[in-house]
Chain A
């Protein structure tokens, strides 16, 4: 599936598919959730979630997957947003780097100034509590 409302990004293979899927969503939070869902399926990561840095607080935004209760690895994206990989041992270092790059592109697509499709980071439409984690 290709979304025409956002410009295509320089990632290839399964990552391009993930980015495409995410960019069809109406706001950043839903886009990140869609990306997490797709990335969990593609790479076999149990759980991926996102949070926004507010001082010391990392404020939950959205995510997907099953909880492992093991330490998560976190990586910064842009705009104060962090991604957490739980049980991410199945990801090689290269895969993780490429996935983070793809996620950064998704964040950028929704936080560019004057982008009518995107949401600003400070006005993120947070996931409804009933969503699957």
Chain B
């Protein structure tokens, strides 16, 4: 039950949302019937058609909904292998072989909403709600920075205790917290849709990316999952959340679907239409796309009973097709997935992952407890340490990256997109990955990871030296400065 204060706050925002829906001139760009019609028309693509689509995908121009639907409906295992290979090729062409690492930080689990699939829904009495106090937040940050993290995604429930004032205060606190050489350099935000004015306030404090997942693009499913008279019940308010963010000047925005609520093929096209509409209006598509799957949560039976749960094999298809359809976007794979599956999913187009994660509010202070179900929104599949995960990335030929250079060097919004869309952003990403990885190896790595990591860097430098000797020389000089004690160097 909501308290009278919570109800009053919710009702005030409901009134705001209703007024917004009346005044908003933008249209709902998701047409359920049209999406199903496309999926039906492309239900049996020929080999030639699929090969032509993949050939176009390799031009990095993205795909239309019809082309994307053709890939989604491929039945032939050989053709799926071709799609997977294309996705890997595109990811390497745009971002190189670096994988960006971040950590989630749940700051508040209190929420006035009552979403059917969510462990943090207000009626779930099996979950203990918690909001970090400032000293607790500082403790979490010091633990994260002591492991080597530089990038966070902070998560807030939709509740008066975690309103935009609180968000600003906590993000400023995170940026201000130093731990020797350790610091958080980029804070991305996952929170509820806001008004344009509220977004403007967040913009002023210097966030990285603002992330709002539609959860499901299917209108009827959305209605069933988000009960009436809750803040999340307005489809349009949420669908246009990132349009409002862009309107406020936040030009790095991130979209996602909670796969498992509805048909996965439909949802992939929903994501594509969302990306297309952001591009149409602002010329800037999503900075990242996320594809979390529904995971079990305490006292939340829907999470295991949904008729649309996505199989591992289908998740691979989702990732690969999204990479082909939206080649410039960052693609985020989280610790929801098990280690053995993450190993298989990363080569399908993933560019960002979290590691060493804890998702209970205050969970990093109890690092040894891998799972704290009574304080978690869902259950994590991969609870390995950051260092273990980095070792594995190196074994598999990737360069781990803690890079935050782009957003501190003016490569944001349309500027970032101008590189990413041409497949040129790797020219920044990979050298900056090497520089930040070196910082990790010097300050945080275990001896075995350091040894393997140095070999990884040496291999990259040798390769770069063969093709771009001037750039290799510049990078080597910067690495030497880091060996001598400098930090936070970037291109």
Contact of A129 among B172, B283, B407 (CB under 8 A): B283
A14 to B428 Cα, complex, angstroms: 33
Complex: A128 Cα to B206 Cα, angstroms: 21
| Residues of chain B at interface, number, CB under 8 A | 40
Q: Which of A53, A67, A128, A130 has the most CB of B within 10 A?
A: A67
B134, CB-defined interface residue at 8 Å: no
CB distance from A28 to the nearest CB of B (A): 14
Report the separation of the CA atoms of residues A74 and B409 in the bound assembly, to the nearest whole angstrom. Answer: 9
What string of 1s and 0s marks CB contacts (under 8 Å) between B452-491 and chain A? Answer: 0000000000000000001100100010000000000011
Main SS at interface, chain B: helix
Interface size class of A (residues with CB under 8 A): 20 to 34
A122 to B207, CA, bound (A): 16
Chain B: minimal CB distance from A43 (Å): 19
Q: Which of A106-129 contact B (CB under 8 A)?
A: 126-129
Q: How far is the CA of A15 from the CA of B157 in the complex (A)?
A: 53
Count of inter-chain pairs, beta carbons less than 8 A: 94
Partner of B415, one of A55, A57, A60: A60
Instruction: Decide if B412 touches A60 in the complex (CB within 8 Å).
Output: yes
What is the distance, in angstroms, from A104's C-beta to the closest C-beta of chain B? Answer: 17
B361 to chain A, nearest CB (A): 24
User: Which one of B205, B206, B474 has the greatest number of beta carbons of chain A within 10 Å?
Assistant: B206
**Complex contacts, B205 vs chain A, CB 8 Å:** 54-55
Measured between beta carbons, the chain B residues less than 8 angstroms from A126 are 249, 251, 413
Q: Interface digits, B389-423 against A, CB 8 Å rule (1 contact, 0 not)?
A: 00000000000000010011111111111110000
Q: Is B91 an interface residue (CB 8 A)?
A: no
Are B427 and A49 neighbours in the complex by a CB distance under 8 Å? no
Contacts of A82 in B (CB 8 A): 410
Determine if B409 and A55 form an interchain contact, defined as CB atoms under 8 angstroms apart.
no
Chain B CB within 8 A of A21 CB: no
B410's contact among A60, A67, A129, A131, by CB below 8 Å, is which?
A60
In the complex, the answer to whether A70 meets B186 with C-beta atoms within 8 Å is: no
B206 touches A56 (CB 8 A): yes
Q: Which one of B412, B470, B491 lies within 8 Å of A59 (CB-CB)?
A: B412
Please tell me if the beta carbons of A63 and B415 are within 8 angstroms of each other in the complex.
yes
CA distance A55 to B206 in the complex (A): 5
Residues of B within 8 A of A54 (CB): 203-206
Nearest A residue to B413 via CB reads: A60
Complexed CA–CA distance, A127 and B283 (Å): 11
Mask: chain A, 20-41; 1 = CB below 8 Å from B; 0 = not: 0000000000000000000000
Q: How far is the CA of A130 from the CA of B206 in the complex (A)?
A: 24
Contacts of A70 in B (CB 8 A): 470-471, 474, 491
A103 an interface residue at 8 Å Cβ cutoff?
A: no
Beta-carbon contact of A56 and B186 below 8 Å = yes
Among A50, A57, A60, A63, the one with the most B-chain Cβ atoms within 10 Å of its Cβ is: A57
Residues of chain B with a CB closer than 8 A to A130's CB: 283
**Shortest beta-carbon distance from B251 to chain A in Å:** 8
Identity of the chain B residue whose Cβ is nearest the Cβ of A84 in the assembled complex? B410
Assembled-state Cα–Cα distance A72/B171 (Å): 28
Chain B 422-453 interface 0/1 with A at a Cβ cutoff of 8 Å (1 = within): 00100110010000000000000000000000
Task: Enumerate chain B residues within 8 angstroms of A55, measured Cβ to Cβ.
Answer: 171-172, 175, 204-207
By the criterion CB–CB under 8 Å, are A58 and B409 in contact?
yes
A60 and B411 CA atoms in complex are apart in Å by: 6
20 A-B pairs within 8 Å (CB atoms) are namely A51-B409, A53-B206, A55-B172, A55-B207, A56-B185, A56-B408, A57-B412, A58-B407, A58-B409, A59-B203, A59-B249, A59-B251, A59-B412, A60-B410, A60-B413, A71-B478, A127-B414, A128-B414, A129-B284, A129-B418
Q: List 12 additional contacts besides A54-B206, A69-B428, A82-B410; criterion CB under 8 Å.
A: A50-B410, A55-B171, A57-B412, A59-B412, A60-B410, A67-B427, A69-B427, A69-B431, A70-B470, A72-B409, A72-B491, A129-B418
Contact surface of A with B, Cβ cutoff 8 Å: 49-51, 53-61, 63, 67, 69-72, 74, 82, 84, 126-131, 133
